[in-house]
Structure 1
Amino acid sequence: MYKNPKNREKKNIIRTIFGFFLLGNSLFLFLSFFSFLFHWKNDQSQLDKLFDKEIRAENLLGKIGAILSHCFIFCGIGISAFFFPLLLFLTGLIILFGVRILRNKYQSIIYHFLFFSIWLPITFYMIIPENGILSGVFGFEIGNFLISLFGKVGLGFLVITSIILYSIIIFRITTPKLKNGIKKKIQYHHEDIGWIIKLWESLKKKFFNDRKTDLSIDHPPFFDKKEIKSSIINTPNPILFSYKSKNEDVISSYMSKKDLENNKKKIIHILNYYKIGIEKIKATIGPTITLYEIFPQVGVRISKIKNLEKEIALNLSALSIRIIAPIPGKGSIGIEIPNNKRSTVYMKNILNSEESFKKSYKMELPISLGKTVFNEIFMIDLAKMPHLLIAGSTGQGKSVGLNTMIIFLLYKKKPEDIKFILIDPKKVELSIYNKISKSYFAFLPNSINPIITNIHEVRDILNSLCKEMDNRYSLLERAMVRNIQEYNGQYEKKYHLPYIILIIDEFADLSLSFKKKQIEIYITRLAQLARAVGIHLIIATQRPSVDVITGLIKSNFTARIAFRVSSKIDSITILDRTGAEQLIGKGDLLFSNKNELIRLQCPFIDLSDIQKIVDFYGKNTFQKNGYFFLPEPDDR
């Protein structure tokens, strides 16, 4: 229907005038009310002489201001009268400028105004009955009436109950929210007084010289009493790390609620800009990254969100983001954003945790790869993998990851249950384990070095390991069992077969040797057949190219770990998909196994702690039969 432009313009003029009228009145009332608080005693006695020119009111807005203030405050609702100018001001803003936020909340503002206009006068009368300007006549009359009904104590309960019920309705407080809020408050105060606890601990240690801190080697802090009974080794575990009451890998870098909400708003804003509707979004904070789960509306194409990766990264000012579209097993799309301040996952806390003990209890060769974005300890059983391929650029956490695997196996298995073969072409990465070679290593006959550093010796050790595999298969055949677990179950006392873990720190160096083809044949043969007889391979390389990780090797290593790599091609080579190039380094990794991809933060263990562990096991462990020798390699 056609509307006359003149009529529309006339309405707009009237609307503008009315809006400014309300703003002006709100300012007038506020100044008069504010002035009344200071001059009401002098002005009140002169209100009956309104038209006397010789009488001047002390109120900033003169006699009119004094009269209005007296009516609204003293004879009205007391201090709650200040809500009137506020309400007029907001109404004027809505009429003039159509402020959407105010317009949407205008109805709730009215409800707040009505509630507090009644609640405040009654409360002030109950607390300060002699001050009339706070409660007004309304508060005085209603307060007196309620006190006559309930008494002063009863009125107090009524006032407190009303504000509690009001808060529950307005802020939608539920029992779970209340519990979480109390927990956060307790945690905040606990952290706030943390320095007092630390000071007390240091003073106690200094002046009392608590001898119990030695804990004698019989009660190590790593495992609970149940695990100590099963005794990982014949001698007790060492006290390698100083005990701390506060778990160090608890996320100390939790993003503030404000930052989380801001990021959510930015994600929603950029998606709305490209007309992508979402139902809800929730965030989970991990040690390294924060996962934002987006639940798109029905009909939204996943590819549209996936293609906005760079735009979302720009809008969030993030170094890099990774989009999981969709998250397996969930009806959502994940956006992984690096935390501003990452939290270190310490190996000692994983070893100490009850969660780690429960998850590894029934595993043959348990290894912890770190923590997930949900702060859960992630465990794998190497016996079921059955081999592991690791790749990553220099300095991204590959060597630390290998060390944590070795340490975890040392803690969980006895010397007679596990033997290592370490191949270290770089000669320095794994040399720290020399001291435990007698108890935990498998040797070539007449060999000098426990750790293989000479490329020319690699062929011999692999050849010897293949012969050991063939010998073990002969044993299984004669015993009519299918695998090492069944064999050890039947012939534990007669002849015990230990697991053998072959670890190669830099496989690329071996692939450059003149015996490359021979080495690849041995590795492939072991990867295909060695699982059943308890021989497992962990191979690491910093150059995941197709000439190093060939198709034949990849096909036999279904379990793979990728630390940060330099390009998408490297990521595809190791994982058969992109994503590793978007990691942020320092132990940030992707674990792939049978089409399952999980992002983890690798645990950190300091070199000094590794040295303590190795020193302990070097001094306190032994094997009844001495060295464990592999068969003599072929001369060819």
Structure 2
Amino acid sequence: MTLRDTLTKLKYRKRLINVFKSAGLFLGDAERPFFPKIHSVKLFPQFTSIIFTLPNGLDPKLITKNAYIFRQYFGKSIELEGDIKRFRLTVFTTTIPVKLAYKIDAVLPVVADHKLGIICGKDRTGQYVSFDLTTQPHILIAGETGSGKSTQLRSILTTLILTKKPSDLRLYLGDCKKSEFHLFRNVEHVQCVLSSPHDIREMLCEIKTELDRRSDLTEVFGVSHIDELPAEHRVPYLVVAIDEFVMLRKDADIMDILTEVVAIGRTLGVFAILSMQRPNAKVLDTTIRANLTVSMGFKLRDITESRIVNTPGANEIETQGRFIMNSDKLYEIQAPYLTMEQARELLNPFVIAKGKVKKVAPLTEKDVFND
């Protein structure tokens, strides 16, 4: 360890002690304070990690309550994680890019190991964040007009198309605003792009039939997931993406089917991506919210909307394309910006002449028992 590193660690320790003093994070009195114990200060190229534990009897809620004091001393680019006693303070030395262009050569390696790779963007360490929709199923995307929500939908769907064969992935798109999904209308993977509530209801009824069909298949072959079906009975993944689905809230049939998709779709290979501008607690009832395992909150109007989406701090976002993601933990991420023109160019090899909207074929006895 160099002398410079030693001095840097001492600086961080001293600064953290000052946080404890300012926040009243100690037992005893000001003359003889009993501070939390700092176990380690580790320096990395992109961040510094500090581990500390609270003395028994000190309320851990004081950490959350006084988080603003940590930011006053260490800056906005920090992360506090912990529970009852042990906490980790991460101070990032790099910043999230204000703009991030979608570059296919950079994106493809990030999602290469996923069955259904979802590209998110870059985090505070400057690294790309992605996840597998098959293990973290169903996404909620929320954000005001111009916040970057629609661009994120575009990059997610484009990446899925570029990384999966049409025989392995089918997309069902509901475009309630009639402005976002026309780009995908003639893409081979896309079964339909619909905008009217009546047509979307019919589409979801087909998805409901397909859920029942796949459930029958798993029962017949005694498997717990469609990926375990015999090769001759394998079925493609289905992704149902509905933009501004709040406009469908008055249709009970639609909401019931969406609730069923997010409740049981994972093991049957059926996934939902739902987006909305103005989160509404009545639309996002507890059943739907509990099963939307990933939330992406772009700029939201107020703290109430941030709580509904479960992305604390999304109401404070000031940068276009920036969002808070809640999945296995909280992330602050800059989404990749994919223009319409770029997307058309990337999707062009998959464009075909479309006829009538494809229907999901029902399961037949021959399908099940064919040897």
| Same-fold call, TM cutoff 0.5 | yes
The correspondence of residues 370-385 of structure 1 with structure 2, limited to 5 A, is: 370-385=121-136
Preserved contact between residue 322 and residue 579 of structure 1 (Cα < 8 Å): no
The correspondence of residues 440-479 of structure 1 with structure 2, limited to 5 A, is: 440-442=189-191, 450-479=192-221
TM superposition shift of 1:349: 4.5
Q: 1:499 to 1:601 in 2, by over 3 A?
A: same
Choose from 389, 410, 423 the match for 2:161: 410
Residue 323 of structure 2 aligns to a residue whose secondary structure is strand
Equivalent position of 2:342 in the other structure: 609
Equivalent position of 1:113 in the other structure: none
Residue 154 of structure 2 aligns to a residue whose secondary structure is helix
More helix by share: 1
Equivalent position of 2:366 in the other structure: none
Equivalent position of 1:172 in the other structure: 3
After superposition, the C-alpha distances for 1:556-585 in whole angstroms (9 at most, x for unaligned) are 22332222322222222122x733334444
Preserved contact between residue 138 and residue 271 of structure 2 (Cα < 8 Å): yes
Choose from 255, 269, 278 the match for 1:543: 278
Residue 416 of structure 1 aligns to a residue whose secondary structure is coil
What TM-score results when the alignment is normalised by the length of structure 1? 0.47
Q: Structure 1 unaligned runs (5+)?
A: 1-167, 178-257, 443-449
Equivalent position of 2:255 in the other structure: 520
Q: 1:338 to 1:546 in 2, by over 3 A?
A: farther
* Separation (CA, whole Å) in 1 of partners of 2:133 and 2:96: 34
**Greater Cα radius of gyration, structure 1 or 2:** 1
Choose from 417, 430, 443 the match for 2:181: 430
After superposition, the C-alpha distances for 1:407-444 in whole angstroms (9 at most, x for unaligned) are 221121111111100001111111111231xx2122xx
* Separation (CA, whole Å) in 2 of partners of 1:424 and 1:404: 16
The correspondence of residues 15-54 of structure 1 with structure 2, limited to 5 A, is: none
After superposition, the C-alpha distances for 1:490-543 in whole angstroms (9 at most, x for unaligned) are 31xxx55221110011111111x4x2x221111112222333332111111122
- The question of 1:306 aligning with 2:44 is answered no
Amino acid at match of 2:231: Q
After superposition, the C-alpha distances for 1:210-261 in whole angstroms (9 at most, x for unaligned) are xxxxxxxxxxxxxxxxxxxxxxxxxxxxxxxxxxxxxxxxxxxxxxxx9xx9
Equivalent position of 1:93 in the other structure: none
Preserved contact between residue 441 and residue 628 of structure 1 (Cα < 8 Å): no
TM superposition shift of 1:593: 3.2
The correspondence of residues 571-610 of structure 1 with structure 2, limited to 5 A, is: 571-575=306-310, 578-593=312-327, 596-610=329-343
Preserved contact between residue 580 and residue 589 of structure 1 (Cα < 8 Å): yes
Residue 420 of structure 1 aligns to a residue whose secondary structure is strand
Preserved contact between residue 78 and residue 89 of structure 2 (Cα < 8 Å): no
Q: 1:604 to 1:312 in 2, by over 3 A?
A: same
Choose from 555, 559, 562 the match for 2:297: 562
Preserved contact between residue 391 and residue 562 of structure 1 (Cα < 8 Å): yes
Preserved contact between residue 97 and residue 334 of structure 2 (Cα < 8 Å): no
* Separation (CA, whole Å) in 2 of partners of 1:172 and 1:342: 34
After superposition, the C-alpha distances for 1:452-472 in whole angstroms (9 at most, x for unaligned) are 111221211111211122223
Residue 629 of structure 1 aligns to a residue whose secondary structure is coil
Amino acid at match of 1:364: K
More strand by share: 2
Residue 399 of structure 1 aligns to a residue whose secondary structure is helix
Is the deviation greater in 324-333 or in 474-483?
Answer: 324-333
- Aligned residues: CA RMSD: 3.9
TM superposition shift of 1:271: 4.9
Equivalent position of 2:106 in the other structure: 350
* Separation (CA, whole Å) in 1 of partners of 2:326 and 2:3: 43
After superposition, the C-alpha distances for 1:56-112 in whole angstroms (9 at most, x for unaligned) are xxxxxxxxxxxxxxxxxxxxxxxxxxxxxxxxxxxxxxxxxxxxxxxxxxxxxxxxx
Q: Structure 2 unaligned runs (5+)?
A: 26-34, 363-371
* Separation (CA, whole Å) in 1 of partners of 2:130 and 2:190: 24
- The question of 1:388 aligning with 2:144 is answered no
Equivalent position of 1:333 in the other structure: 89
Q: 1:352 to 1:559 in 2, by over 3 A?
A: closer
TM superposition shift of 1:604: 2.4
Amino acid at match of 2:345: K
What TM-score results when the alignment is normalised by the length of structure 2? 0.77
Equivalent position of 1:80 in the other structure: none
Preserved contact between residue 504 and residue 538 of structure 1 (Cα < 8 Å): yes
* Separation (CA, whole Å) in 2 of partners of 1:381 and 1:327: 27
Amino acid at match of 1:610: A
* Separation (CA, whole Å) in 1 of partners of 2:97 and 2:264: 45
TM superposition shift of 1:629: 2.1
* Separation (CA, whole Å) in 2 of partners of 1:406 and 1:499: 13
- The question of 1:629 aligning with 2:359 is answered yes
TM superposition shift of 1:551: 1.4
* Separation (CA, whole Å) in 2 of partners of 1:582 and 1:537: 27
Q: 1:293 to 1:433 in 2, by over 3 A?
A: same
Residue 291 of structure 2 aligns to a residue whose secondary structure is coil
Q: Percent identity?
A: 21
Preserved contact between residue 147 and residue 321 of structure 2 (Cα < 8 Å): yes
* Separation (CA, whole Å) in 2 of partners of 1:383 and 1:274: 43
* Separation (CA, whole Å) in 2 of partners of 1:411 and 1:395: 26
After superposition, the C-alpha distances for 1:11-65 in whole angstroms (9 at most, x for unaligned) are xxxxxxxxxxxxxxxxxxxxxxxxxxxxxxxxxxxxxxxxxxxxxxxxxxxxxxx
Preserved contact between residue 425 and residue 506 of structure 1 (Cα < 8 Å): yes
